[in-house]
Amino acid sequence: MAEENNKKQSNFIKQIIDEDLAGGRFDRVHTRFPPEPNGYLHIGHAKSICLNFGLAEEYNGKCNLRFDDTNPLKEDREYIDAIIEDVHWLGFDWEDRLFFASDYFEQMYQYAVQLIKMGKAYVDDLSAEEIKEYRGTLTKPGKESPYRNRSVEENLDLFERMRKGEFKDGEKVLRAKIDMKSGNLNMRDPVMYRIIHASHPRTGNKWCIYPMYDWAHGLEDSIERITHSICTLEFEDHRPLYDWFLDQLGVFHPRQIEFARLNLTYTVMSKRKLLRLVEEGYVSGWDDPRMPTIAGMRRRGYSPEAIRDFADRIGVAKANSVVDFALLEHCVRDDLNKRAERRMVVLNPLKVIIDNYPDDQVEELEAENNPEDANAGTRTVPFSKIIYIEREDFREEAPRKWFRLAPGKEVRLKHAYYITCNEVIKDENGQIVELHCTYDPQSRGGWTQDGRKVKGTLHWVSAAQAIPVEVRLYEHLFLKENPEEVEEGQDFTANINPNSLKIIKTALAEPGLKEAKPGQRFQFLRQGYFCADLKDHSAEHPVFNRTVTLRDSWARIEKKLK
RNA sequence: UGGGGUGUAGCCAAGCGGUAAGGCAGCGGGUUUUGGUCCCGCCAUUCGGGGGUUCGAAUCCUCCCACCCCAGCCA
């Protein structure tokens, strides 16, 4: 695997861990990936997953998979299942350490009681709007709630009655008693519990009070004896609160470390926006091959190895950045080049009749499956008098440096013969309908002894044996590197690429491709990497998704010629 | 004088006082039965800016500038 060859480079998190280990703060490394089950995982999560599981692996430690299911209003069982599948697919194993924040609700409750008894938490009757008012602003300090100094006994009683369901949603909250004048708004008596009378995917109706992230997360980490709690930059301001709760309780205290989340060109990454793409029908679902979700990329044909390699290459730092999508594509090509078997598929067929080839003869020619892998073996492809080539591979008037087919020119048919074009047949509209060529019987296999120079090599299929297949050509979902770059009054959907999906129902493939299994990846010679669709592909109706094109240096040359 | 962060090439990113790694993209060349792959070469006299310390500064000090995050009973 690619990522195992080049040694992984250092980053600031490893340096912190090294210091913690050397200084004795911890004697082991235990991380966790803590998704909220309120949406599908995307490539940004993949970065975090690779980071957390990768660190554990490198330091001979462990990494837990933990669902942060503290908000029953937003979370769903569907997402839990999808997330589990995706993390596994990426190649990571949490063994028996699959946890849920909801597993700790009782323990969290007891800790809250402890804080109340210490006089460090209180039940507040202020409404949500009032709490907001009392919080102050970025530049003005907040003011204390009139309920802030209730007695411990009253707080204990009220909190218990909150749990029992005696109050309606929003009627009361439990707050930490910290500092309403803090410059850090998170420290202005943050809410610890709110009342939500809703059924939870795992605890059902057992609870009607649910812990807030800041209160819950540190406890989850502490309970699981996590050493390094890695999260994204926006939680940097929350670290003082994370530390405060754990310090007050005097419990095991993990170290929170923040890193910059991944951004990719031509991509939106927020769950909210991805949800919009799905709900408003811009894509077919969370696993649409154009989505930056793990499920989408899987269906597109990206391999877990390529995604992991990508995660290694982008590094980990604290500076906000936008990674070039081309790097991801490079990783995909790099992996698939070594592993994907080659096949010939003509997307836009042009009929070629080989006049001097025996009428009813069919030859089975040998073709290597992968020039990058000797162990991939060979297969056989049929050749006959009538074949199809790619329409784009023929030009009536050849431009400079063109070494594909043109009148009077000779090219090589991959694995087959040299052919020369003699005649172009057109219909009444001037459309080319077929080509008449002659072949050189001496060039069987695609080579002659005489040292003749044949620069161009084309892929082709034999007309009688070719099978029709559907091919789905994907491009970036957005036209601009930064989809958010829009005019006044518009949003990112204004930048959606109308040509992000082009369906070709009339492609012709070499017959062996009828054996393809859903999810199987190939390189279609001279075109790109393709993957049999996970959902729609069948032997009766083959469907292939274009994962990524091959690099196309002819396109570059032609551009320069103009 | 609200708090917290970040600035190294077009894009990521190492670097931790001894004179700017690596990858992607791009450009030029070679090999090639995929205009693919592979191989070779080029691509920051300079690290957001000014000042200072030092024999020596991207690294230390200082002032300034730019950008990002925070006012959910979301995570």
CA of A388 to C1' of B37 (A): 26
Pick out the nucleotide with least CA–C1' distance to A137: B71
CA of A405 to C1' of B40 (A): 31
- Spatial contact of A418 and A448, defined as CB atoms under 8 Å apart: yes
Assess whether A175 (CB) lies less than 7 A from strand B: no
The angle that helices A304-314 and A43-58 make with each other, rounded to 10 degrees, is 80
What are A172-202's pLDDT values in tens digits? 999 999 999 999 999 999 999 999 999 999 9
Of A120, A135, A148, A261, which one is the catalytic site residue?
Answer: A261
CATH code of A12-259, in short, is: 3.40.50.620
A261 flagged as catalytic: yes
Work out the angle at residue A250's Cα, subtended by the Cα atoms of residues A249 and A251, and round it to the nearest 5 degrees: 90
The answer, yes or no, to whether residue A5 has pLDDT greater than 70, is: no
Pick out the nucleotide with least CA–C1' distance to A454: B33
The answer, yes or no, to whether residue A1 has pLDDT greater than 60, is: no
Assess whether A449 (CB) lies less than 7 A from strand B: no
The answer, yes or no, to whether residue A431 has pLDDT greater than 60, is: yes
- Please compute the mean of the pLDDT values over residues A332-346 and round it to a whole number: 98
- Spatial contact of A171 and A197, defined as CB atoms under 8 Å apart: no
The answer, yes or no, to whether residue A6 has pLDDT greater than 50, is: no
Phi-psi region of A558 (alpha: psi -120 to 50; beta: other; left: phi over 0): alpha
| ipTM computed for the complex | 0.97
- Please compute the mean of the pLDDT values over residues A462-469 and round it to a whole number: 98
Q: Dihedral through CA A45, CA A51, CA A54, CA A56, nearest 10?
A: -110
Per-residue confidence (pLDDT) for residue A562, from 0 to 100: 76
The answer, yes or no, to whether residue A396 has pLDDT greater than 90, is: yes
3-class SS of residue A217: helix
Give chain B positions with protein CB within 7 A: 2-8, 10-16, 21-28, 33-38, 67-75
- Please compute the mean of the pLDDT values over residues A91-108 and round it to a whole number: 98
CA of A283 to C1' of B73 (A): 34
Per-residue confidence (pLDDT) for residue A9, from 0 to 100: 85
Among residues A143, A140, A141, A149, the alpha carbon closest in space to that of A130 is found at: A143
Among residues A154, A146, A219, the alpha carbon closest in space to that of A180 is found at: A146
CA of A400 to C1' of B11 (A): 33
What are A138-150's pLDDT values in tens digits? 999 999 999 999 9
Report the nearest residue to nucleotide B34, CA vs C1'.
A526
Sole residue written with tokens 């054996």: A515
- How far apart are the C-alpha atoms of A199 and A296, rounded to whole Å? 30
Fold (topology level) of A271-341+470-561: Ribosomal Protein L25; Chain P (2.40.240)
Class of residue A208 by CB neighbours under 10 A (exposed 0-12, middle 13-18, buried 19+): buried
A472 flagged as catalytic: no
Per-residue confidence (pLDDT) for residue A561, from 0 to 100: 84
Per-residue confidence (pLDDT) for residue A3, from 0 to 100: 33
The answer, yes or no, to whether residue A324 has pLDDT greater than 90, is: yes
The A 319-378 residues near strand B by Cβ under 7 Å are 319-324, 326-327, 330, 333-334, 337, 342, 370-372
A8 CB neighbour count, 10 Å cutoff = 13
- Spatial contact of A194 and A173, defined as CB atoms under 8 Å apart: yes
Pick out the nucleotide with least CA–C1' distance to A142: B71
A379 flagged as catalytic: no
The A 408-437 residues near strand B by Cβ under 7 Å are 412, 414-415
The answer, yes or no, to whether residue A8 has pLDDT greater than 80, is: no
Of A62, A271, A385, A412, which one is the catalytic site residue?
Answer: A271
What are A200-249's pLDDT values in tens digits? 999 999 999 999 999 999 999 999 999 999 999 999 999 999 999 999 99
- How far apart are the C-alpha atoms of A59 and A57, rounded to whole Å? 6
User: Which tokens hold the place of A131?
Assistant: 């709490």
The A 462-521 residues near strand B by Cβ under 7 Å are none
- How far apart are the C-alpha atoms of A334 and A308, rounded to whole Å? 12
Per-residue confidence (pLDDT) for residue A7, from 0 to 100: 57
User: Which residues are paired to A395 by β-bridges?
Assistant: none
A157 CB neighbour count, 10 Å cutoff = 13
Report the nearest residue to nucleotide B13, CA vs C1'.
A315
b (16+ CB within 10 A) / e for A406-439: beebbbbbbbbbbbbbeeeeeeeeeeeebbebbb
Report the nearest residue to nucleotide B69, CA vs C1'.
A234
Maximal C-alpha separation, chain A: 102
Average pLDDT value over all residues in chain A: 96
Pick out the nucleotide with least CA–C1' distance to A191: B73
User: Which tokens hold the place of A328?
Assistant: 């991801």
Fold (topology level) of A345-459: Ribosomal Protein L25; Chain P (2.40.240)
What are A486-542's pLDDT values in tens digits? 988 899 999 999 999 999 999 999 999 999 999 999 999 999 999 999 999 999 999
What separation in angstroms does the CA of A505 have from each of A313, A483, A516, A533, A543? 37, 30, 17, 14, 9
A394 CB neighbour count, 10 Å cutoff = 21
CATH 2.40.240.10, chain A: domain bounds = 271-341+470-561, 345-459
User: Which residues are paired to A501 by β-bridges?
Assistant: A474
- How far apart are the C-alpha atoms of A335 and A341, rounded to whole Å? 12
- The type of residue at A424 is V
pTM of the model: 0.96
Per-residue confidence (pLDDT) for residue A4, from 0 to 100: 35
Among residues A302, A293, A285, the alpha carbon closest in space to that of A268 is found at: A293
Pick out the nucleotide with least CA–C1' distance to A240: B4
- Please compute the mean of the pLDDT values over residues A266-288 and round it to a whole number: 96
Pick out the nucleotide with least CA–C1' distance to A216: B75
Assess whether A442 (CB) lies less than 7 A from strand B: no
Cite the beta strand spans of A113-208 per DSSP E.
Answer: 121-124, 173-176, 191-195
- Spatial contact of A50 and A6, defined as CB atoms under 8 Å apart: no
Assess whether A556 (CB) lies less than 7 A from strand B: yes
The answer, yes or no, to whether residue A114 has pLDDT greater than 80, is: yes
